[in-house]
Amino acid sequence: MIADLHIHTRCSRDSLMDPARVVHVARTRGLAGIAVTDHDTIRGGILAREANRDKDFQVVVGAEIKTEYGDVLGLFLEQEIVTRKFDDVVGEIHAQGGLAVLAHPYRRYPSPERLAGRVDLIEGFNSRSRRQTNALSMTLGRISGKGTVGGSDAHVYAEIGRGVTVCAGEEIEEALRAGRTAGGGRESNYYLVHGLSCSIERLKGLAGGDNGRR
């Protein structure tokens, strides 16, 4: 079973993707599931889950929360995460029965090795990260004894499925909780996709949008 566990929608400040179309695109690319992890909100994940009509396709509701150290992905959420302190974010995720993932560890974290033991999973592959940092992330997963996941970090449709999590077994959640997963995929052109995201964020700011959360 293959899933893309890091996708943004119009509910993020730097994406215009429609949650329902994200589901459609992911299905047409052969994925068994996705996690919608918009910046600081679960709204996009809820909209994508509501739009999904395929019982064989799973939408995981998540969010990417910015903390003082870096970003944490929360998976299997039902309520918004309100705090922004690293340990408190992880605590809120766990209080909902969710899983906490150290997102792209070597992109922002000052010392990811010290934080790895405080989360459930490591994002070993992110298609928006460089090959060298993905290799470091995969190594971090091994030395910390954590399962690794992969995601595209998609902000535009072309990116969906470039980064994936391979799950052993029939259920994504079961595999994640058991640590029977591996991340992999193809790196994107960082400067191109990051530039697109920045342009979208500027356009939405000029338009005075609400990040599509309605």
In this structure, are residues 105 and 130 in contact, taking their beta carbons and an 8 Å threshold?
Answer: no
In a domain, 191, yes or no: yes
Q: Mean pLDDT score of the chain, rounded to an integer? A: 93
CB atoms inside a 10 Å sphere around CB 143: 10
The answer to whether residue 112 is domain-embedded is yes
| Tens-digit pLDDT profile for residues 187-207 | 887 768 767 788 887 888 877
* Any domain includes 16: yes
**pLDDT, tens digit, for every residue of 79-112?**
999 999 999 999 999 999 999 999 999 987 788 9
Predicted confidence (pLDDT) at residue 169 exceeds the cutoff of 80: no
213 lies in some domain: no
* CATH number where 45 lies: 3.20.20.140
H or E segment and range at residue 37: strand 33-39
Is residue 7 a contact partner of residue 160, using CB atoms and an 8 Å limit? yes
What pLDDT does residue 200 have? 84
Split into its structural domains, the chain has a count of 1
- Note whether residue 182 is domain-resident: yes
Maximum CA extent, the chain: 46
What value does the mean pLDDT take over residues 117-122? 97
Residue pair 13/39 in contact by the 8 Å Cβ criterion: yes
Answer whether residue 212 is part of any domain. Answer: no
The tokens describing 21, both together, are: 């179309």
Instruction: Classify residue 214: in a domain, yes or no.
Output: no
pLDDT at 175 over 70: yes
Range of the domain at 31: 2-207
Give yes or no for a contact between 98 and 77, defined as CB atoms under 8 angstroms apart. yes
Structure tokens that stand for 172 in this block? 């994504």
- pLDDT at residue number 209: 57
> Quick one: how far is CA 116 from the chain centroid?
17
Mean pLDDT of 206-210: 68
159 in a structural domain: yes
pLDDT tens digits for range 24-35: 999 999 999 999
Q: Which two tokens stand for residue 141?
A: 């997963």
Pairwise CA distance, residues 187 & 200, whole Å: 21
Contact (CB, 8 A) for 81 and 89: yes
